[in-house]
Amino acid sequence: MVGRGGRLPFAYRRGPVTIFSAIIYISLLTALLVIHNTVPSAHNDYIPEEISLDEAWHDLQRLTKSFHPYNSHANDDVRNWLLLRIEEILGNGKGPSARVSEDFATVENDLSSNVTSSSQGLSVYFEGTNIMVHVKGTPEFSHLGAVLVNAHYDSVSTGYGATDDGVGVVSILQLIKYFTTGKHRPRRDIIFLLNNGEEDFLNGARVFMQHPISSLPRTFLNLEGAGAGGRAVLFRSTDTEVTKFYKAAGHPYGSVLTGDGFQMGLVRSQTDYVVFNGDLGLRGLDVAFLEPRARYHTSEDSTRYTSIDSVWHMLSAAIATVEGLALDKSEEYQGRVSNDKRIVDNGGSRAVWFDMFGQAFALFKLRTMFIISILLLVLAPLFLIILTVVLVRQDKWYLFDGRVVTINYDAGPDEGQLPQKYKMKGLYGLWRFPVTTIVSVGLLAGFVQLTIRVNPLIVYCSPYVVWSEFLSLFFIFFWFLYRSADFTRPSALVRVYSLIWLFILSWVGLVLVTVSENNYQLAGGYFILFYFTSIFVATAISFLEMLVLMKKRVYLEDLPRLRWWHKQNHKDDDESDDTRPSSHNRQAEDNQDATESSALLQSSTSFQGYGSRRRSRDEGNAEELEKEEGKFDYFGEEQHWSGMLPKWTWVLQILVLAPINIILVGQIGLLITSALRQTPADGSSVAAAYVVIAAFSILIVLPLTPFIHRFTYHIPTLLLAVAVGTALYNQLAFPFDQGNRLKVFFRQDLDLDTGVNRVSITGRSDYIHSVIDSLPSSRSMQVTCNPPPQENRYGLLDCSWQGLPPAVVPRDPSVLPEKSYIDYMHLDVVRSNLSSEGTITISGNNSRACKLFFDPPLSDFKIVDPPNAAEDPRFKPVGPDGVKELRMWSREWERGWKVWVKWGKEGGLDGRAVCAWSDQNDPEAIPALTEVRRYAPHWVTVSKTTDGLVEGLKRFKM
């Protein structure tokens, strides 16, 4: 505290609080936004001489020059190119010889592995065309399990597959090059898997399990893409021990919260991770691109919308992780092979992990977090209770003291000792935080609901405008209510009471997190642990600073003397910045019972008389009294004893509270926003993104609330303008643009018996009609709209009409398309002499993907031709619900399948046979899809609805 000559630059007053808090929040939030939206430049990093980013980029361009789903001829072209590219890499190795020895690296061109699997009434038969490169480790570590590195080289039928999963593929090509030189030879074997067929039921990874080499790995790294560009995020990991190798990545990025999302089933799509971990029992990591989802599975998933920096971000993380796994000498991951060929008993502890500004990576065990949580839940309240007891015993516990005490003062020789009542005001501000929080949250919820009702998809393209609105609104609501209460009932206890309430709320939150840690193995609540810890430390500081206070008894005895000195020394102070009450307030106060804030005598003459008597009595102690009075430089009309409190401790508190919580909460909020904001186009809840943004906005502002009443009007006024502008924008702006297009889903169904075709587009119900009206073929046609057949597609409509006929099968130009449909599929159905058995032979012209639907469900089936279809005890061909649908994929074109079927009920079998066509590289093959791309509004992009873009149907009976 500085006397009349000046003030501390960081005193707990309006100016310093406003400026210092604003600097902290603005600088950290800006840094978070910049880092979140910027891919680290590859030019600023060290790149090993074996790695060529230019080469990787050219490979990516070659890989993505056409759509290449499994059921396309372009897929075969990509496969052949990959084999040649791998041979080129191995032929130009920089090892001891000009060519990499086959004893060191071998290529497995798998054209024989098949798999049959099932899930919830769906069975799948798949023939693989995977490519594997086996790089051998050093002989002394040959007994250790291998490292599997996986990416899939097929794309979806509507996307070029640059990030899903082209970047993963070219990363593997560079990793092969990196590890096939003598300089980087691994200790463990490494198996690089380029699988085909991931996009449709993760078939490529499942068929890999049928190859003998699949018995070698014990750990894995899966490279994937669920967005289109940006940074590659650590989606999930199995345990702490494998995650430690990702820690060496130059630019780590991710949070364990995304892994919890998969574990709780909140994320619909899956990756090959679930096969390697769930079916094979391996331990490993899932690294994938996350955003923007509007480009995912569309033609915008191309090299145009990604960058060489994105390639390096994934590749550099892969190098660090794979090198760490491959050089590891421990037997940590060995486990044992069970009867069903699955690796079991291979240990591993659940991990907690998150990055800090994309530069540092925190990693610890969930068990450690659980123990720390338990200790904090017990010790933190206990520590505050002990401090409370100490303060009470020292008579320094000013909190909760609502007494009105009577003090005698010397009124002079005539009047003698007269009583004066004083309010301790220890309850002032007690209920301010909960009431303000409830009202502010309620008001913010109203604005959230307004946005959802009026313009529910604005977050699709403008998430940061939504963030700005919600942050500004919550701050304004809280500030206004706190300042209003502070104006009518000022209290120095607002800060500590706010911290106590925050402590209680965060303690309850930590209890819930601790339960989820122990019962459900969920680690995503780690930020609550830090949140609680910071609040506890800040609360403890407020408790500790009360130790410097006078004992209440001494304070009350000296109050008349010290109050007089305060009046004398501050009567000429500048009272302009809201720190003193107005004359009107002072006059009103004269009519009330005296409090600490009241003058000791109600008339100025009496006070001056008292002062003159005190001066004559204390002239010899004037310097000591001046020193004592310095302790009572209280703020405004707050309690006088608060002037004894240190004026700088709030700086410690805000430094403890704000930075760590802004960083952790902000990073998580931005990550979840990126994951959720464009999922309503897929049929996910519209409200989810808004609730997340609102909740995390509240969590970001709450650490500021103990100090918010000290803010001047300047920041709230600015934020009010921001809130008004962003609120208007969020209600009125169009929610899509060319960088954030609305995704719609295309499907064309052919009735091969009648020749009728129907084009179906599925999309948001509030915009789908605008899309369909823009298509020439829909005019004068009857458009039928219904909820989509898929479950949990909220807010979507499936609209269909008789569209342009496809030409996915070569035909005589003189023959009408409808007349050629009979040649699209060959179907032969034979019922055996037994009552509930038969065989179905099916093949598609210019297709290698067909499926069968059964009513009633099959109780058993077997692929008769091609023969020797493998059976794996890890995969049951028939699930507990029987077979309602059987999907079949062939590596050969037009060969088809012969299937023996058996159903459990008496009577016949009704069914549908469907073959799919997914190759749209020729724009004339599917004119209806070409029409959508050409005529749909510029703010629309298109993706596939199901396996085939065109599906031809025939019905059968047995």
pLDDT the model gives residue 417: 66
Which range is least confidently modeled, 8-17, 483-492, 814-823? 814-823
Mean pLDDT calculated for residue range 893-916 = 93
Strands (E), 331-458: 336-337, 343-344, 351-356, 360-365, 404-410, 417-423
Would you tell me how many other CB atoms lie within 10 Å of the CB of residue 329? 10
605 pLDDT exceeds 50?
no
207 & 281 share domain: yes
99 & 167 share domain: yes
421 Cβ contact list (under 8 Å, min separation 6) = 404, 405, 406, 407, 593, 594, 595
Helix-helix angle 494-520:526-545, to 10 degrees: 150
pTM: 0.91
611 & 691 share domain: no
Q: Which two tokens stand for residue 321?
A: 């992780």
597 pLDDT exceeds 90?
no
665 Cβ contact list (under 8 Å, min separation 6) = 527, 531, 696, 699, 700
Nearest Cα neighbor of 695 from 527, 535, 536 is 527
pLDDT the model gives residue 871: 75
CA distances from 539 to 182, 310, 496, 502, 887 (A): 58, 43, 7, 9, 61
* Strand-pair partners of 119: 122
Strands (E), 818-949: 825-831, 837-844, 849-865, 883-889, 897-903, 910-917, 940-944
618 pLDDT exceeds 90?
no
Mean pLDDT calculated for residue range 574-591 = 40
CA dist 411 and 81 (Å) reads 103
Average pLDDT, the chain: 89
CA dist 1 and 647 (Å) reads 6
Q: Is residue 404 part of a domain?
A: yes
β-sheet with 190-195: strand ranges across = 105-109, 131-135, 190-195, 146-152, 217-225, 283-289, 232-237
Q: Which of 729, 764, 779 is where one domain is finished?
A: 729
CA dist 620 and 598 (Å) reads 28
651 Cβ contact list (under 8 Å, min separation 6) = 10, 20
pLDDT the model gives residue 149: 99
611 & 656 share domain: no
558 pLDDT exceeds 70?
yes
**Angle at CA 349, nearest 5°, toward 347 and 355?**
140
Q: Is residue 920 part of a domain?
A: yes
Mean pLDDT calculated for residue range 467-486 = 97
pLDDT the model gives residue 347: 82
pLDDT the model gives residue 733: 98
pLDDT digits (tens, 9 = 90+) for 923-944: 999 999 999 999 999 999 999 9
pLDDT the model gives residue 627: 54
Nearest Cα neighbor of 912 from 940, 870, 954 is 954
Query: Helix, strand, coil shares of the chain as percentages rounded to 5?
Result: 45, 20, 35
Which range is least confidently modeled, 10-19, 43-52, 558-567? 558-567
904 & 834 share domain: yes
Number of folded domains in the chain? 4
pLDDT the model gives residue 211: 95
pLDDT-based confidence at residue 636 (cuts at 50, 70, 90): confident
DSSP H or E run through 117:
strand 114-119
pLDDT the model gives residue 402: 87
762 & 713 share domain: no
**Residue linked to tokens 């969590």:** 699
pLDDT the model gives residue 591: 39
**Residue linked to tokens 């490279």:** 223
240 & 275 share domain: yes
pLDDT-based confidence at residue 617 (cuts at 50, 70, 90): very low
Q: Which two tokens stand for residue 479?
A: 């500030």
307 & 162 share domain: yes
Q: Is residue 8 part of a domain?
A: no
CA dist 384 and 165 (Å) reads 53
Query: Cβ distance 787 to 797 under 8 Å?
Result: yes
Mean pLDDT calculated for residue range 626-652 = 76
629 & 771 share domain: no
Identify which of 8-12, 187-191, 753-757 has the greatest average pLDDT. 187-191
* Strand-pair partners of 410: 417
29 exposed, middle or buried (CB, 10 Å; 0-12, 13-18, 19+)? middle
199 pLDDT exceeds 80?
yes
Which range is least confidently modeled, 69-83, 587-601, 656-670, 845-859? 587-601
Nearest Cα neighbor of 276 from 146, 88, 367, 143 is 146
CA dist 637 and 659 (Å) reads 31
Q: Is residue 205 part of a domain?
A: yes
193 & 283 share domain: yes
pLDDT digits (tens, 9 = 90+) for 329-385: 999 998 888 888 888 877 899 999 999 999 999 999 999 999 999 999 999 999 999
Query: Cβ distance 373 to 517 under 8 Å?
Result: yes
Mean pLDDT calculated for residue range 663-675 = 97
Q: What is the 3-state secondary structure (H, E, C) of 1-31?
A: CCCCCCCCCCCCCHHHHHHHHHHHHHHHHHH
CA dist 709 and 475 (Å) reads 11
CA dist 671 and 662 (Å) reads 14
DSSP H or E run through 628:
helix 622-629
**Residue linked to tokens 């000013």:** 398
263 Cβ contact list (under 8 Å, min separation 6) = 236, 521, 522
Q: Is residue 384 part of a domain?
A: no
Active site residues: 198
Q: Which of 729, 750, 770 is where one domain is finished?
A: 729
Strands 360-365 and 351-356: antiparallel
Q: What is the 3-state secondary structure (H, E, C) of 798-849?
A: EEEECCCCCCCCCCCCCCCHHHHHHHCEEEEEEECCCCCEEEEEEEECCCCE
Mean pLDDT calculated for residue range 454-474 = 98
Query: Cβ distance 955 to 753 under 8 Å?
Result: yes
Q: Domain range holding 568?
A: 398-427+550-589+598-644
Give the residue, 567 or 811, on which the prediction is more confident.
811
* Strand-pair partners of 899: 840, 863
Q: Is residue 849 part of a domain?
A: yes
Q: Which two tokens stand for residue 502?
A: 């925050």
609 pLDDT exceeds 60?
no
Task: Classify 593 in phi/psi space as left (phi over 0), alpha (psi -120 to 50) or beta.
Answer: beta
Q: Which two tokens stand for residue 785?
A: 């709209």
Mean pLDDT calculated for residue range 546-559 = 86
3-state class of 279 per DSSP? helix
886 pLDDT exceeds 50?
yes
613 pLDDT exceeds 60?
no
Mean pLDDT calculated for residue range 25-37 = 97
Q: Is residue 355 part of a domain?
A: no
708 & 758 share domain: no
pLDDT the model gives residue 906: 79
Q: Is residue 723 part of a domain?
A: yes
Which range is least confidently modeled, 199-213, 351-365, 421-435? 421-435
CA dist 878 and 886 (Å) reads 10
Nearest Cα neighbor of 13 from 647, 562, 588 is 647
Please give the torsion angle defined by the CA atoms of residues 225, 228, 229 and 232, in that order, rounded to the nearest 10 degrees. Answer: -20
Q: Which two tokens stand for residue 615?
A: 């001066």
787 & 902 share domain: yes
pLDDT digits (tens, 9 = 90+) for 782-792: 999 999 988 77
**The CATH number of the domain where 98 resides is what?**
3.40.630.10
Mean pLDDT calculated for residue range 41-48 = 94
pLDDT-based confidence at residue 953 (cuts at 50, 70, 90): very high
943 Cβ contact list (under 8 Å, min separation 6) = 156, 158, 159, 296, 297, 298, 743, 744, 745, 746
**Residue linked to tokens 């009241």:** 598
* Strand-pair partners of 757: 750
Mean pLDDT calculated for residue range 279-286 = 96
pLDDT-based confidence at residue 61 (cuts at 50, 70, 90): very high
